[in-house]
């Protein structure tokens, strides 16, 4: 008796424990193998770009927090850099150093979530996820010291950061920096040499560097496919040209490489934070601007290396207190381009893990 | 009164009590009552232990994950299983319209029954067992096969494509792991010369975990797969689309599957304790307490494994069984047989010599077979299938 | 390789098993917030408020409603309005703190509470009467003078506006950052800032 198998189309999501947010995929299976994938997005569309046209430049900072909601500091940073380029504003040094410290802490926090949920999709029953969240809590406590909020931070302003770090921030930061390397080593020991993780993620869903460049993919995914491209080195902003760090690349481009690149990037971020803490000098943290920022007509786009890829705000101003157009280049939206090439031909279990390895955030995809 | 249970105090007490109350010729009532009392004692203690095992598992998983488990329902959260039970009892009992009614209803019951019947041959303490079958361990293996059968019944009767896929995958995994499991049991049987569980427990001068390490490892892995526990819990994975055999079950039927799973873990721990850890034996403490401690330690190890390891894919599970565990268990069996020929009396010293040989053999064969299996890891097939224009 | 990676993983989980769990059992135990925590229950000092409505204009959501009466009221700093209605709709507030940043007179401060949930949506709008009657725990967010005094809103209230001091308005020319320590002391001694 032969079972008559036809390809069958099934909906994964938008409510599903392992789509990272409200994200829907129409997957066509033949038995266990995936034959076609069609992502459907838009379930979290909130009209950010349209709302931005009706708010003044400082109010938009609160909107940018909510784009990639697990990495708010870098969203703020990308936006204010574009605004400062509109008027050619110089940010004081201490402001730039504080921005970089906040952005690198945010990178560690975002990668912790990426790794934690990657392992949750592998089926590790939440143990690595809990460890990652425990460390992320410490970073969020540091953010609370800086700006009073943990996730929707609104810390950066046009011209620098809005307020200097409080006095008890620096001892807390050095305590954190002392503890975290051992926790990252613990995560490493738990996961990186685990035979089951290796068996399930090595060689699965490989992406070549050429495919990534053709699809405009950036961030850890690009670096895990062997292309050494990091905007912090290629087009340095803030004080990234004054600190030394390595750009981590791996040649394989499979799920394991994407996970390993994120783990290594966390260590590099800690290196950057150490150097910034050494180099920072007292001084003003915010440059002179008006209360209602009114740039001359023009346009600016300054992309930064957000934890998930290249994030940029293309701002067109027409001389009023609100931008004429604020287009957001969200890295997660572009990184989902190659989803079909990644998932077709592999099994469903691997498909879910590949989705997790992309570490995308639906807030950025849908805006 | 059969002499199978003659020396059992509970049985004889109840028997004589009821026998005095009933008229002559009705002593079968006394037999029935005595038998039922023993069954009630064993079954109830297992089921209560199983429900509290769910509590233990959730608390321990929490501690492994650096958090507390449930601790609000009752002191230390001890009433949490009761809360779960009440929740399951209050849910609607759904029967899909095109499902096969009889099989649908029988499957969970059969799974629980298979778990409970195994307890008939397990010795809980010195001289404390229900039946000393001389094919004890064969009985255990056969009954756990019925548990496998009930999973297939559940998937088939659900009239749900995905449930059936899930249960067929589960059956494939379960059947594949029966073979290494039986081979490692055979090596234990060869050493003790008898299949009776009581004799196996008594014939271990040194605990077989030291003497037959590879058999222990193979048996632990196989029994994890039989119990559908991590890392082989493909059947109950949440991040899978295909939800497994218990998709269509709700309410107390699902509760029965759930309870049967946890009871199965405890029963498997009991069997491992008898086979490899000398059962109820050691000095100082009473024998029942030793047995419970050993079962508890093994249950802890199962939770520890669940907290640490991610899940394997179904083809990796099957490959692991056939390519890795089966050759290892064959090697183990051959080595054990040769050793028994050389040292037929099983004194502690002779078993120590066997241990001295077995440990290096185990390490060498694991290393060698890991190399062989990993070299032959097939490259992921990238299948480009033309998508049909109209899809269902 | 050969199962050693698995063994390392087991070691890590066992280590965490022995460690104390990191759970904070709310509500019996609580985490302490920093003084800069942007919380609910704003602190509004009516004696300083001039009714300029900068906060209402700067709010991205437009949840502050101010109705003033130009006829009466106390004089302060070159004239002020009598504030009749000062409502903040906490149900839609996102606690961004832009209103606090906009206030030129340091009259509005973020609160420090996070447990002010209500059962009716209408109860979430705090009125002028509630703001004046309530105990004030102003957060030190964007109010560096409070941090310099070592004030902790979670342990003490600050109901008098003289206690909370005042910092020169950030966007004025004489910003603290552009003044040296000596200049700032001089300005304070001459009564230019409180």
Chains that touch B (3 or more CB pairs under 8 A): A, C
Spell A71-97 as b/e; 16+ CB within 10 A means b.
bbbbbbbbbbbbbbbbbebebbbbbbb
Token code pair at residue C59: 């709010």
The structure's pTM equals 0.87
Chain A, 137-166: which have a CB under 8 Å from a chain C CB? 137, 141, 144-149, 152, 154, 162-164, 166
Closest CA to A258 of A356, A135, A127, A362: A356
* B79 contacts: CB under 8 Å, gap ≥ 6: B73
Positive or negative, the CA dihedral B153, B155, B159, B161 is negative
Token code pair at residue B148: 């496998």
Give CA angle at A130 (A129, A132), nearest 5°.
65
Q: What is the pLDDT of residues B259-292, one digit of tens each?
A: 888 999 999 999 998 888 887 777 777 778 888 8
pLDDT at A331: 92
CA distance A126 to chain B (A): 8
Domain with CATH 1.10.645.10 in chain A: 47-204+279-339
CA distance B71 to chain C (A): 10
Instruction: Supply the DSSP string of B200-211, one letter for each residue.
Output: HHHT-SS-HHHH
**Are C10 and B65 a contacting pair at CB < 8 A?**
no
pLDDT at A35: 87
Is residue A18 within 8 Å of A121, Cβ to Cβ? yes
Tell me the C-alpha to C-alpha distance, in Å, between residue B157 and each of A10, A118, B173, B312: 22, 35, 20, 27
CA diameter of chain B: 80
* Residue of C1, C3, C98 with shortest CB distance to A59: C98
Q: How many CB atoms lie within 10 A of CB B186?
A: 18
Phi, psi of B108 (to 5 degrees): -65, -35
Phi, psi of A125 (to 5 degrees): 50, 30
Alpha carbons B370 and C1: distance in angstroms, whole number: 8
Note the CATH number of domain A47-204+279-339: 1.10.645.10
**Are B68 and C10 a contacting pair at CB < 8 A?**
no
The residue-averaged pLDDT of B69-78 equals 84
**Are B391 and A9 a contacting pair at CB < 8 A?**
yes
* Residue of A123, A131, A199 with shortest CB distance to B239: A123
Residue C75 has pLDDT above 60, yes or no: no
Q: Which residue of chain C is at minimal alpha-carbon distance from A148? A: C37
Alpha carbons A229 and A232: distance in angstroms, whole number: 9
Q: Which residue of chain C is at minimal alpha-carbon distance from B67? A: C21
Q: How many CB atoms lie within 10 A of CB A191?
A: 28
- Band of pLDDT at residue B377, cut at 50, 70 and 90: low
* Residue of C9, C19, C22 with shortest CB distance to B308: C9
Q: What is the pLDDT of residues B199-223, one digit of tens each?
A: 888 877 778 888 888 899 999 999 9
Alpha carbons B263 and B74: distance in angstroms, whole number: 23
* B378 shares contact with chain A (CB less than 8 Å): no
Alpha carbons A189 and A258: distance in angstroms, whole number: 17
Which of B63, B165, B241 would best serve as a mutation to test chain A binding (most A beta carbons within 10 A)? Answer: B241
The residue-averaged pLDDT of B165-169 equals 79
Q: What is the pLDDT of residues C102-152, one digit of tens each?
A: 888 888 888 888 888 889 988 889 888 888 888 888 888 888 888 877 788
pLDDT at B239: 47
pLDDT at C15: 86
Peptide bond into A328 cis (omega under 30): no
Task: Find how far residue B87's CA is from the centre of its chain.
Answer: 26
Alpha carbons B87 and B252: distance in angstroms, whole number: 9
Residue B191 has pLDDT above 60, yes or no: yes
CA distance C37 to chain B (A): 25
Token code pair at residue A256: 């394991």
Helix (H, G, I), strand (E, B) or coil at A341: helix
**Are A194 and B309 a contacting pair at CB < 8 A?**
yes
Helix (H) or strand (E) holding C40: strand C39-44
pLDDT at B388: 36
CA distance A147 to chain C (A): 6
Phi-psi sector, A12: left (phi>0), alpha (psi -120 to 50), beta: beta
The residue-averaged pLDDT of B230-241 equals 68
Alpha carbons B177 and B179: distance in angstroms, whole number: 5
Positive or negative, the CA dihedral C147, C149, C155, C161 is negative
Any bridge partners for residue A314, and if so which?
A301, A327
Q: What is the pLDDT of residues B93-130, one digit of tens each?
A: 878 788 778 888 888 899 999 989 888 888 887 777 77
The residue-averaged pLDDT of C172-187 equals 60
Tokens 């560096």 — which residue?
A: C144
**Are B366 and C14 a contacting pair at CB < 8 A?**
no
Q: How many CB atoms lie within 10 A of CB C87?
A: 17
Tokens 């005042």 — which residue?
A: C166
**Are A35 and B239 a contacting pair at CB < 8 A?**
no
pLDDT at A175: 92
Positive or negative, the CA dihedral A137, A143, A148, A154 is negative
Q: In chain B, what are the domain boundaries?
A: 91-374
Residue B2 has pLDDT above 80, yes or no: no
- Band of pLDDT at residue B390, cut at 50, 70 and 90: very low
In this predicted structure, which of A142-156, A343-357, B173-187, B338-352 has the lowest mean pLDDT?
B338-352
Residue B329 has pLDDT above 50, yes or no: yes
Alpha carbons B166 and B257: distance in angstroms, whole number: 15
pLDDT at B302: 92
Tokens 């199965």 — which residue?
A: B264
pLDDT at A329: 92
Helix (H) or strand (E) holding B169: helix B161-192
Alpha carbons A223 and A220: distance in angstroms, whole number: 5
* Percent of chain B's residues with pLDDT above 90: 11
Q: Decide: residue C177, CB within 10 A, 0-12 exposed, 13-18 middle, 19+ buried.
A: middle
pLDDT at B173: 85
* Percent of chain C's residues with pLDDT above 70: 79
pLDDT at B392: 37
Token code pair at residue C38: 């942007």
Ranges of residues in chain A with a pLDDT under 70 are 1-5, 17-19
pLDDT at B240: 56
Which chain A residues are Cβ-neighbours of C12 within 8 angstroms? 186, 189-190
- Band of pLDDT at residue C185, cut at 50, 70 and 90: low
Tokens 């990426």 — which residue?
A: A114
Is residue C113 within 8 Å of C126, Cβ to Cβ? no
Helix (H, G, I), strand (E, B) or coil at A29: strand
* Residue of C9, C12, C21 with shortest CB distance to B67: C21
Phi, psi of A178 (to 5 degrees): -70, -35
* B44 contacts: CB under 8 Å, gap ≥ 6: none
Name the average pLDDT for chain B: 82
The residue-averaged pLDDT of C15-28 equals 84
């Amino acid at each position: 008796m032969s079972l008559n198998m036809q390809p069958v189309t099934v909906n994964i999501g938008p409510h599903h424990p392992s789509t990272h947010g409200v994200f829907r995929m129409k997957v066509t299976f033949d038995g266990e193998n995936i034959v076609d994938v069609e992502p459907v997005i838009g379930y979290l569309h909130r009209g950010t770009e349209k709302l931005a046209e009706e708010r003044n430049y400082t109010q938009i900072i609160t909107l940018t927090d909510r784009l990639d909601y697990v990495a708010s500091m870098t969203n703020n940073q990308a936006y204010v850099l574009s605004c400062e380029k509109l008027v050619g504003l110089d940010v004081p040094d201490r402001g730039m150093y504080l921005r970089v410290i906040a952005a690198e802490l945010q990178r560690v926090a975002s990668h912790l979530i990426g790794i934690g949920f990657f392992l949750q999709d592998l089926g590790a029953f939440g143990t690595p996820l809990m460890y990652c969240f425990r460390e992320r809590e410490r970073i969020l406590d540091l953010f609370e010291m800086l700006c009073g909020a943990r996730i929707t931070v609104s810390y950066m302003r046009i011209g620098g950061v809005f307020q200097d770090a409080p006095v008890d921030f620096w001892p807390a930061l050095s305590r954190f920096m002392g503890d975290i390397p051992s926790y990252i080593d613990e995560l490493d020991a738990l996961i990186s040499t685990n035979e089951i993780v290796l068996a399930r993620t090595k060689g699965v869903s490989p992406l070549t560097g050429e495919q990534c460049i053709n699809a405009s993919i950036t961030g850890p995914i690009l670096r895990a496919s062997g292309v050494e491209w990091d905007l912090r080195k290629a087009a340095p902003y803030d004080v990234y040209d004054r600190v030394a760090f390595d750009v981590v690349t791996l040649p394989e481009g499979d799920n394991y490489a994407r996970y390993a690149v994120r783990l290594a990037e966390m260590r590099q971020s800690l290196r950057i934070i150490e150097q910034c803490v050494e180099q920072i000098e007292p001084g003003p943290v915010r440059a002179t601007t008006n209360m209602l920022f009114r740039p001359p007509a023009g346009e600016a786009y300054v992309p930064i290396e957000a934890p998930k890829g290249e994030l940029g705000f293309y701002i067109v101003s027409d001389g009023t207190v609100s931008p004429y157009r604020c287009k957001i280049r969200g890295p997660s939206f572009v990184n989902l381009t190659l989803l079909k090439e990644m998932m077709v031909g592999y099994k469903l279990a691997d498909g879910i893990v590949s989705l997790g390895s992309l570490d995308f955030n639906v807030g950025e995809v849908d805006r | 009164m059969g002499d199978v249970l003659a020396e059992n105090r509970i049985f004889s007490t109840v028997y004589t009590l009821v026998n005095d109350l009933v008229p002559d010729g009705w002593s079968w009532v006394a037999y029935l009552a005595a038998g039922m009392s023993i069954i009630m004692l064993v079954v109830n203690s297992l089921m209560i232990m199983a429900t509290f095992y769910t509590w233990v598992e959730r608390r321990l998983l929490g501690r492994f994950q650096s958090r507390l488990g449930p601790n609000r329902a009752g002191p230390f959260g001890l009433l949490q299983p009761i809360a779960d039970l009440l929740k399951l009892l209050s849910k609607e009992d759904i029967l899909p319209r095109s499902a096969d009614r009889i099989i649908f209803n029988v499957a969970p019951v059969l799974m629980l029954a298979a778990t409970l019947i195994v307890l008939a041959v397990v010795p809980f303490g010195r001289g404390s067992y229900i039946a000393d079958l001389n094919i004890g361990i064969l009985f255990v293996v056969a009954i756990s096969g019925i548990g496998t059968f009930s999973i297939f019944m559940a998937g088939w009767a659900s009239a749900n494509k995905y449930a059936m896929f899930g249960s067929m995958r589960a059956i494939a995994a379960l059947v594949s792991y029966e073979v290494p499991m039986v081979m490692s049991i055979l090596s234990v049987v060869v050493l003790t010369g008898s299949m009776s569980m009581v004799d196996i427990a008594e014939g271990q001068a040194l605990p077989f975990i030291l003497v037959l390490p590879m058999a222990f490892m193979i048996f632990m892995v196989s029994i994890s797969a039989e119990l559908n526990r991590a890392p082989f819990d493909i059947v109950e994975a949440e991040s899978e689309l295909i939800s497994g055999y218990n998709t269509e079950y709700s309410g107390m039927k699902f509760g029965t599957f759930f309870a049967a799973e946890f009871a199965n873990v405890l029963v498997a721990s009991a069997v491992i304790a008898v086979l490899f850890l000398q059962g109820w034996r050691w000095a100082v403490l009473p024998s029942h307490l030793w047995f419970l401690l050993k079962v508890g330690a093994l249950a802890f190890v199962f939770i520890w494994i669940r907290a640490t390891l991610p899940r394997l894919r179904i083809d990796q599970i099957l490959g692991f069984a056939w390519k890795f565990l089966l050759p290892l268990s064959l090697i183990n069996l051959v080595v054990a047989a040769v050793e028994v020929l050389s040292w037929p009396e099983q004194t502690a010293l002779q078993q120590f010599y066997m241990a001295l040989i077995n440990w290096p053999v185990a390490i060498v064969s694991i290393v060698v077979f890991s190399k062989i299996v990993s070299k032959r890891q097939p490259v992921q097939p990238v299948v480009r299938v033309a998508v049909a224009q109209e899809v269902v | 390789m050969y199962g050693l990676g698995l063994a390392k993983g087991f070691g890590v989980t066992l280590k965490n098993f022995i460690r104390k769990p990191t759970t904070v059992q709310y509500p019996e135990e609580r985490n302490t917030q920093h003084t800069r925590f942007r919380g609910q229950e704003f602190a509004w000092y009516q004696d300083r408020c001039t009714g300029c409505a900068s906060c209402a204009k700067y709010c991205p959501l437009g949840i502050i409603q101010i109705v003033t009466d130009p006829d009466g009221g106390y004089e302060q700093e070159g004239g002020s309005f009598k504030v009749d209605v000062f409502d903040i709709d906490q149900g839609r507030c996102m606690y961004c703190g832009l209103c606090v940043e906009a206030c030129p007179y340091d009259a509005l401060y973020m609160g420090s509470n996070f447990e002010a949930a209500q059962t009716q949506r209408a109860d979430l709008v705090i009125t002028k009467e509630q703001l004046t009657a309530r105990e004030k725990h102003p957060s030190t967010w964007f109010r560096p003078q409070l941090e310099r005094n070592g004030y902790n809103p979670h342990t003490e209230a600050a109901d008098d506006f003289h206690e909370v001091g005042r910092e020169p308005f950030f966007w004025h020319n004489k910003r603290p950052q552009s003044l040296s320590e000596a200049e700032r002391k001089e300005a304070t001694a001459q009564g230019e800032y409180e």
